[in-house]
Chains A and B, each alone.
Chain A
Amino acid sequence: MIQAIVFLPLLAAIVAGLGNRALGNTVAKAITTGALFVSCALSWPIFLGFLSGAQVAHVEPVLQWIKSDDFNVLWALRVDTLTAVMLVVVTSVSALVHLYSWGYMAEDDSQPRFFAYLSLFTFAMLMLVTADNLVQMFFGWEGVGLASYLLIGFWYYKPSANAAAIKAFVVNRVGDFGFMLGIFGTFLVFGTVSIPAILAAAPGMAGSTVGFLGGRVDTMTLLCLLLFLGAMGKSAQLGLHTWLPDAMEGPTPVSALIHAATMVTAGVFMVCRLSPMFETSHTAMTVVTLVGAATALFAATIGTTQTDIKRVIAYSTCSQLGYMFFAAGVGAYGAAMFHLFTHAFFKALLFLGAGSVIHSMHHEQDMRFYGGLRKSIPVTFWAMTIGTLAITGVGVAGVFGFAGFYSKDAIIESAFASGTQVGGIAFAIGVFAALLTSFYSWRLVFLTFFGEPRWAASEHIQHAVHGEHDAPSAEHGDSAHHEVHAPTGTAGYHPHESPLSMLVPLVLLSLGALLAGFLFDEVFLSPERGMAFWKGSLFFDEHLMHARHAIPEWAKQSATIAWIIGLVIAWYAYLKDTTVPARFTSTFRGLYAFLLNKWYFDELYNLIFVRPAFALGRFLWKRGDEGTIDRFGPNGAAAVVAGTSRVSSRLQSGYVYTYAFVMLIGLAGAATWAIAG
């Protein structure tokens, strides 16, 4: 069964990809979407089986892969609780995104290619989550990277899309550099890359040291940090995050599937999968916590100033991933996975909702040109509102809450309950970031759905009104706009609600955002049931889960207070008195510029990595190869031998003969010796 789940999408991708235009749009779409729905339908029983305790963890070998001495890697599919959780997340969101794309990509002229890429991505992601060894995980890891590259650059005629695609791949490769070294080191230390074997042996290696780059370092810290570098790349953590916002160049369904719900959470999955290993290194755990917390804060601050609807959600994703990491860092892996689970639903919902808005607004992505859309696209509005309630964590303890209420609060409480200093820092940052999350999320809703329509100034709307047709690829980043103060007015444009194929996924994901937390909180997190549910597929800290219920009341309520404050500020600034944002930005000009320009990371990296690399390349080529090696090597030799003026004439004749001659003399010598001997 698991074989069918994993390989059906691959098969569909191959058929649709190679068949392409010969198959036609509808057939290609039907094959890929059908395969995904079958995969999804097969995945849920497995998950439910683990929920009820009927399923047991097992590994299905597929084929020999790489065998070299005691390094032996198989293609194999591992099914345990952790995998099962990821299976339903990946196949459900992917199936819905496939369906959604029927409507969203309806006008595109490369639809088979798009759907083939989506299915290929799903296959790679499934290989990642079913990996039983680190190398297969790396296969999936790189496979999703390839799919992500292809999909970000799907509209390959746009320079910005190409640049974003390459950036995503290369930045991820920086992380992969760490991942690869981590695997090498793990093999050196443990003599195996099988995940269960490593996890079993990891505690025994705690406190040992290993040589690295000439020094001696703590073994487990080194390995965990190297592997974590990989996780940072894939999950866009601070420092290696720069690719994620740019990845919004891809079509919106891609952003929902890959850059929100599934691929970017692979890093969190990896840390949870290897949690017994991370548990052996206090230093590594501290780093994971701090990086996660820093990312949660940093991305949330940027999210408050962005005007492109997709970028706001992208930074929000980045920030939520930070939450998951610091949850893992304080030892609450169950909470990290739970947030991954709920986040997949509500973040996919928000992205697909944003896609629906963009679709109805004729590919305009700038929220400054939205406003008042509540009435024109009510289903989208309600879906986005549910998504926002879920991400901000609205709920009443003991009664009911939206998905994020359970998972995010569990993270914040666990950080407090961990009792460590970094845990405390993470708690404080988590609460503050929750305030920012609430602010930017409601800001998005208010700017988009409330207030007066400000559509008139949008070029896209102007095109639409004047009958010029924009391809969906006219999606663009906020860079296209400069500082604008959009006047109000509809310009006579009438936004339409999206087609059914797009609304059905929105409704289903809304159900997820509504119920995922409420239904599964007990199972994922309660000290008693959690242990039985996870069955050792991740490190489940019962004591921490007990302790988080025993924290002071103010700490428990702080997350709720945070979202209320965030909501009130957003309401005041964007509905009550809309002059507030402008006054704020003119007062804190420097801070605003700093946030708007994303902490100047791109500029900094260009300055210290990209441009020097090109300059150095040119220098080594011109000055190194041509100016030094050739000058003193072959060209110099030619000058010495032949005299500069006659080099070419001498060279044209004779050199092959010279060579043959030298060889002959040598052989004559050899022959002489052979006969004499």
Chain B
Amino acid sequence: MNQLGFPILSIMLAVPTAAAIACLYLKDEGARRLALAATLIDLALGILLWATFDSSQGAPQWQFQEHVGVFGRFAWALGIDGIALLLIMLSVFLMPICILASWTSITKRVPEYMAAFLLTEVLMVGTFAAQDLFLFYIFFEAGLIPMYLIIGIWGGARRIYASYKFFLYTLLGSVLMLIAMLWMSNFAGTTDIPTLLQTDFPVEAQNWLWLAFFASFAVKVPMWPVHTWLPDAHVEAPTAGSVILAGVLLKLGGYGFIRFSLPMFPEASSTLIWVILVLSGIAVVYTSLVALVQNDMKKLIAYSSVAHMAIVTIGLFAFNRQGLEGSMMVMLSHGLVSGALFLCVGVIYDRLHTREIARYGGLSNNMPRYALLFMLFTMASVGLPGTSGFVGEFLSLMGAWQVSSWATAVCTTGIILGAAYMLYLYWRVAFGVSDKPDAAAMPDLNARELISLGAIALVVLWMGVYPESFLKPMRNDIGTIVARVDRAKPRFDPDFAVGKPNVKLPVEAAAH
């Protein structure tokens, strides 16, 4: 069956599912404990998965495969490659932290809340592990239902508007994607994703398919201008909801691009690359500037997420290893760092019940541990070398340079603007004088918060100092994608060849 001898992926889905059902029959405290236990079991299974994943050269691309026919061509088909592995790891790592973050801050309908979170975990892991097109679709789309509920039931004052917006944006994309999927399976005669990855779709059809998928993925990422659901959703969501939203759900879009758009429609990706470049470039500058003027902490971090995810999209469509590996690293890093930043907001929100930046100040005095960790995550968000933020950002921009210097130059301004809005935020929250009595009276991190943030901090530093642990598992699979898209590598920016004095390079010649 696989190298472990038992269907580990199914078990990783079954554990939270069973726990979610059981939660509904428990009291508050029991539900909390069960949810924590279930997510920790999944984390342990995830570590086992990582430890046994074969990332040596020549290892099979798809591992831990499971296949049970359901009806017709539709099958319960699971399996992962290195890309899916890392995103699954991200999900199972953040999940127990989310449960801990909700430990005391959620008091209303706790069993249902825990069940919703466990269900989210099932659907996220399922999305990354699915190897059947329609199985993927179910996980991908259904994953948003518990998130609607989390925002709509446990959210803030404007939660209805926020979840409505979230819903509306997602709906259109998902319909278009479904139609495209139907067409694809009809054309290829299969719903098996590994097979579809080998299928060459007709070039004329690719553009339409690409756009249909793009409609769905661009909303999830989110790309400008379909990003406006994100700030509202974050602001209204409870802390843990924001963590999962920023940490994992946004990665579904990037995962979609890397799993479907690029390898299945290489020619279309090449033809329509300008859409990505233009939208990413606008997103970085636009949302960074907007982040600069926010008064609400969560909104600020939400806008910064849009800017960071634009670095993901530009790197994905660089058609080279640096770009793709960089994008994956940005996704992982952003998942951790923005998750941690939302937790940081949650910590002080739990104490003062406001997200308004102006209500805080001077927290370094009364919350030194908090200030230290917040500084670390701020620096990681800014992309300081030595933290996880740098590796991905650097690789992905470097990869993108080989496609378009314009887009890279524009996106690289993000390092200036990012520093401005993050440090400005940090100043207003942690520095300055403690002139607000309520903020000055807040106690420092408790053990539960310290463990959550400390765990993320360690991984952030690990990823920054020795990223090889994370780059290695995906190396083969990124290689497969690069090889797959190589034939369509965009040539529309022929300026990018090093001309030697007396040598006329083919690309340069072609330009004339």
A positions within 8 Å CB-CB of B: 20, 63-69, 71, 75, 135, 138-139, 142-143, 146, 149, 153, 156-157, 159, 162, 165-166, 169-170, 173-174, 176-177, 180-181, 183-185, 187-189, 205, 207-216, 219, 613-614, 616-618, 620-621, 624-626, 629-630, 633-634, 637-638, 648, 651-652, 655-656, 658-660, 662-663, 666-667, 669-671, 673-675, 677
Q: Which residue of A is nearest B161, CB measured?
A: A651
Which of A174, A211, A625: most chain B Cβ within 10 A? A211
Report A-chain residues with C-beta under 8 Å of the C-beta of B413. Answer: 177
| Alpha-carbon gap, A659 to B501, bound state (A) | 61
Interface of B is mostly: helix
Report A-chain residues with C-beta under 8 Å of the C-beta of B181. Answer: 670
Report A-chain residues with C-beta under 8 Å of the C-beta of B118. Answer: none
| Alpha-carbon gap, A183 to B393, bound state (A) | 13
| Alpha-carbon gap, A143 to B379, bound state (A) | 10
Asked if B398 contacts A187 (CB within 8 A), the reply is yes
Asked if B72 contacts A674 (CB within 8 A), the reply is yes
Report B-chain residues with C-beta under 8 Å of the C-beta of A656. Answer: 145, 148-149, 152, 167
Contact among B72, B292, B325, B415 with A177 in the assembled complex (CB-CB below 8 Å): B415
Contact among B72, B175, B286, B432 with A666 in the assembled complex (CB-CB below 8 Å): B175
Instruction: State how many angstroms separate the Cβ of A77 from the closest Cβ of chain B.
Output: 15
Report A-chain residues with C-beta under 8 Å of the C-beta of B321. Answer: 68-69, 71
Asked if A620 contacts B431 (CB within 8 A), the reply is no
Asked if A670 contacts B423 (CB within 8 A), the reply is no
Asked if B182 contacts A634 (CB within 8 A), the reply is no
| Alpha-carbon gap, A677 to B231, bound state (A) | 43
| Alpha-carbon gap, A185 to B395, bound state (A) | 13
Asked if A216 contacts B466 (CB within 8 A), the reply is no
Q: Which 8 A-B pairs have the closest CB atoms?
A: A211-B495, A674-B72, A69-B321, A617-B289, A139-B385, A156-B431, A617-B293, A184-B401
| Alpha-carbon gap, A188 to B402, bound state (A) | 7
Asked if A673 contacts B186 (CB within 8 A), the reply is yes
Report B-chain residues with C-beta under 8 Å of the C-beta of A618. Answer: 293
Q: Given contacts A156-B431, A613-B289, A662-B171, are A65 and B467 in contact (CB under 8 A)?
A: yes
Q: Given contacts A177-B412, A677-B72, are A205 and B186 in contact (CB under 8 A)?
A: no
Asked if B225 lies at the interface with its beta carbon under 8 angstroms from chain A, I say: yes
Report B-chain residues with C-beta under 8 Å of the C-beta of A187. Answer: 398
Contact among A174, A219, A616 with B289 in the assembled complex (CB-CB below 8 Å): A616
Q: Which residue of B is nearest A210, CB measured?
A: B498
Report B-chain residues with C-beta under 8 Å of the C-beta of A655. Answer: 148, 163-164, 167
Q: Which residue of A is nearest B435, CB measured?
A: A157
Q: Which residue of A is nearest B383, CB measured?
A: A142
Asked if B169 lies at the interface with its beta carbon under 8 angstroms from chain A, I say: yes
| Alpha-carbon gap, A149 to B144, bound state (A) | 41
Total interface residues on B, CB under 8 Å, equals: 97
| Alpha-carbon gap, A210 to B495, bound state (A) | 7
Given contacts A673-B186, A677-B72, 15 further A-B contacts (CB under 8 A): A66-B468, A71-B322, A162-B427, A173-B419, A174-B416, A177-B413, A187-B398, A205-B498, A212-B495, A624-B290, A634-B164, A660-B145, A670-B182, A674-B74, A674-B134
Asked if B293 contacts A667 (CB within 8 A), the reply is no
Instruction: State how many angstroms separate the Cβ of A440 from the closest Cβ of chain B.
Output: 33
Asked if B228 lies at the interface with its beta carbon under 8 angstroms from chain A, I say: yes
Instruction: State how many angstroms separate the Cβ of B234 from the closest Cβ of chain A.
Output: 14
Asked if A663 contacts B141 (CB within 8 A), the reply is yes
| Alpha-carbon gap, A135 to B383, bound state (A) | 13
Q: Which residue of B is nearest A189, CB measured?
A: B498
| Alpha-carbon gap, A162 to B423, bound state (A) | 9
Asked if B412 contacts A68 (CB within 8 A), the reply is no
A-B interface contact total, Cβ < 8 Å: 240
Give 27 pairs: A residue, B residue, CB < 8 Å, sorted on A.
A66-B471, A68-B321, A68-B395, A69-B320, A71-B321, A142-B384, A156-B431, A173-B415, A180-B415, A205-B498, A205-B500, A208-B498, A214-B406, A214-B495, A219-B498, A616-B289, A625-B228, A633-B225, A634-B165, A638-B164, A651-B164, A656-B148, A659-B171, A670-B185, A671-B71, A673-B186, A675-B71
Report A-chain residues with C-beta under 8 Å of the C-beta of B171. Answer: 658-659, 662
Which of B181, B286, B321, B420: most chain A Cβ within 10 A? B420
Report B-chain residues with C-beta under 8 Å of the C-beta of A65. Answer: 465-468
Asked if A142 contacts B427 (CB within 8 A), the reply is no
| Alpha-carbon gap, A419 to B408, bound state (A) | 40
Asked if B290 contacts A620 (CB within 8 A), the reply is yes
Asked if A181 contacts B160 (CB within 8 A), the reply is no
Asked if A677 contacts B322 (CB within 8 A), the reply is no
Q: Which residue of B is nearest A75, CB measured?
A: B465
| Alpha-carbon gap, A484 to B68, bound state (A) | 88
Instruction: State how many angstroms separate the Cβ of A150 from the closest Cβ of chain B.
Output: 8
Asked if B416 contacts A170 (CB within 8 A), the reply is yes
Asked if B405 contacts A659 (CB within 8 A), the reply is no
| Alpha-carbon gap, A215 to B229, bound state (A) | 38
Report A-chain residues with C-beta under 8 Å of the C-beta of B291. Answer: 617
Asked if A71 contacts B433 (CB within 8 A), the reply is no
| Alpha-carbon gap, A651 to B158, bound state (A) | 12
Asked if B154 lies at the interface with its beta carbon under 8 angstroms from chain A, I say: no
Asked if B493 contacts A621 (CB within 8 A), the reply is no
Report B-chain residues with C-beta under 8 Å of the C-beta of A613. Answer: 289, 292, 417, 420
Instruction: State how many angstroms separate the Cβ of B444 from the closest Cβ of chain A.
Output: 12
Q: Given contacts A173-B416, A180-B397, A621-B290, are A659 and B74 in contact (CB under 8 A)?
A: no
Report A-chain residues with C-beta under 8 Å of the C-beta of B397. Answer: 180, 184
Q: Which residue of B is nearest A137, CB measured?
A: B385
| Alpha-carbon gap, A400 to B487, bound state (A) | 70
Report B-chain residues with C-beta under 8 Å of the C-beta of A69. Answer: 320-322, 325
Q: Which residue of A is nearest B472, CB measured?
A: A67
Asked if B432 contacts A146 (CB within 8 A), the reply is no
Report B-chain residues with C-beta under 8 Å of the C-beta of A214. Answer: 406, 495
Report B-chain residues with C-beta under 8 Å of the C-beta of A162. Answer: 427, 431-432
Q: Given contacts A156-B432, A181-B408, A211-B493, are A662 and B174 in contact (CB under 8 A)?
A: yes
| Alpha-carbon gap, A660 to B149, bound state (A) | 13
Which of B378-412 touch A at CB < 8 Å? 379, 384-386, 390-391, 394-395, 397-398, 401-402, 405-406, 408-409, 412
Q: Which residue of B is nearest A187, CB measured?
A: B398
| Alpha-carbon gap, A165 to B378, bound state (A) | 15
Report B-chain residues with C-beta under 8 Å of the C-beta of A634. Answer: 164-165, 168-169, 228-229
| Alpha-carbon gap, A674 to B185, bound state (A) | 9
Asked if A617 contacts B290 (CB within 8 A), the reply is yes
| Alpha-carbon gap, A655 to B384, bound state (A) | 42
Q: B323-349 toward A: CB 8 Å interface, digit per residue (1/0)? A: 001100000000000000000000000
Instruction: State how many angstroms separate the Cβ of A510 from the closest Cβ of chain B.
Output: 37
Asked if A153 contacts B167 (CB within 8 A), the reply is no
Which of B71, B229, B368, B398: most chain A Cβ within 10 A? B398
Q: Given contacts A170-B420, A655-B164, are A213 and B405 in contact (CB under 8 A)?
A: yes
Asked if A666 contacts B431 (CB within 8 A), the reply is no
Contact among B152, B398, B501 with A183 in the assembled complex (CB-CB below 8 Å): B398
Q: B424-442 toward A: CB 8 Å interface, digit per residue (1/0)? A: 1001001111000000000
| Alpha-carbon gap, A230 to B432, bound state (A) | 30
Asked if A184 contacts B398 (CB within 8 A), the reply is yes
Q: Which residue of B is nearest A625, CB measured?
A: B228
| Alpha-carbon gap, A601 to B165, bound state (A) | 45
| Alpha-carbon gap, A535 to B294, bound state (A) | 54
